[in-house]
């Protein structure tokens, strides 16, 4: 694959096997940082003989909060003569859409939906030419001029994708919090779990936790429940009670010591919470 000069090559790699099936073999990957709001990656792929899928493109919408979206567009191009395939994966980040009036965006497909959505469409001749332009950037007099050119091409690809979607948009059968399909958002829930585990003696409020992990409060609550099966409060309480049980079984620690260790406001508050969770008074575990 021809090397392309990029502004930054620290683009998160795409789990392409999950997208195109386990039969696909990744031969090479090349990230392209178009600008701060758009990233792309070209991926050379191969399939076993007689297992090649049809050439196609997909547009995926990931809502992360009201008026905020990630859009991924994936193009799979097949070269029958060379028996090789090329994937172009483009991610349009939420700030890309901040350039445009929200009312105009929300009135158009695919932005009418509040769930993760996917639309498959054919790769037109114009899109093929634009994909080649994105890969083979012309020699420009400056790095900024090259970025402007790539930005223009990425924007045209998005417009062509919207024009190619002619069938009714299909909403994937996934829960409303399926914004977690975006690995960046998924990682924030994992980070929230680590924060909770590290602050059992002084739990953060949900508002404080959402700020800590830089995630919308509503989406943090929904995503946390989807990922752990528990609310943030339930998860925190279970960890605190488990830690309390461990401490109570240690020789020399009193109920008061454990309550203080875990930041409970009073012994009675701790005892009530412990009995509600375990059915046992904490003093009954003392050695």
pLDDT at 171: 41
pTM of the model: 0.54
Q: What is the pLDDT of residues 20-74, one digit of tens each?
A: 776 788 889 899 889 999 999 999 988 877 677 778 888 888 887 777 888 999 9
pLDDT at 50: 64
pLDDT band at 92 (very low <50, low <70, confident <90, very high): very high
Task: Tell me what the mean pLDDT of segment 206-212 comes to.
Answer: 88
Of the candidates 113, 16, 18, the residue with the CA atom closest to the CA atom of residue 63: 113
CB count, 10 Å around CB of 13?
12
| % of residues, the chain, pLDDT over 70 | 80
**Which superfamily does CATH assign the domain made up of 180-285 to?**
Homeodomain-like (1.10.10.60)
Enumerate the CATH 1.10.10.60 domain ranges in the chain, comma separated: 180-285
Enter the tokens of residue 164: 């190619």
CA-CA-CA-CA torsion sign (19, 112, 103, 182):
negative
pLDDT greater than 60 at residue 255: yes
Mean pLDDT of all residues in the chain? 80
Q: What is the pLDDT of residues 105-149, one digit of tens each?
A: 877 766 665 677 778 888 888 888 999 999 887 767 788 998 999
């Amino acid at each position: 694959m021809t090397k392309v000069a990029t502004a930054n090559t620290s683009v998160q790699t795409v789990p392409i096997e999950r997208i195109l099936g386990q039969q696909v073999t990744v031969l090479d990957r090349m990230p392209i940082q178009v600008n701060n709001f758009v990233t792309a990656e070209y991926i050379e792929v191969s399939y076993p003989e007689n297992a090649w899928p049809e050439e196609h493109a997909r547009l995926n919408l990931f809502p992360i909060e009201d008026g905020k979206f990630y859009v991924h567009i994936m193009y799979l191009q097949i070269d029958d003569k060379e028996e090789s395939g090329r994937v172009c994966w483009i991610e349009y980040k939420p700030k890309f859409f901040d350039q445009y009036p929200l009312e105009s965006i929300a009135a158009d497909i695919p932005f009418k939906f509040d769930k993760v959505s996917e639309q498959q469409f054919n790769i037109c001749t114009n899109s093929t030419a634009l994909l080649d332009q994105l890969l083979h950037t012309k020699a420009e007099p400056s790095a900024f001029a090259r970025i402007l050119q790539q930005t223009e091409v990425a924007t045209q690809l998005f417009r062509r994708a919207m024009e190619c979607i002619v069938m009714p948009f299909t909403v994937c059968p996934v829960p409303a919090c399926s914004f977690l399909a975006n690995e960046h958002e998924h990682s924030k829930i994992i980070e929230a779990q680590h924060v909770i585990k590290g602050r059992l003696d002084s739990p953060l409020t949900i508002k404080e936790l959402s700020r800590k992990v830089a995630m919308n409060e509503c989406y943090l609550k929904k995503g946390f429940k989807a990922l752990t099966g528990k609310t943030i409060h339930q998860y925190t309480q279970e960890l605190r009670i488990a830690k309390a049980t461990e401490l109570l079984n240690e020789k020399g620690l009193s109920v008061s010591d454990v309550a203080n260790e875990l930041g409970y406001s009073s012994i009675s508050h701790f005892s009530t919470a412990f009995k509600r969770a375990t059915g046992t008074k904490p003093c009954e575990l003392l050695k």
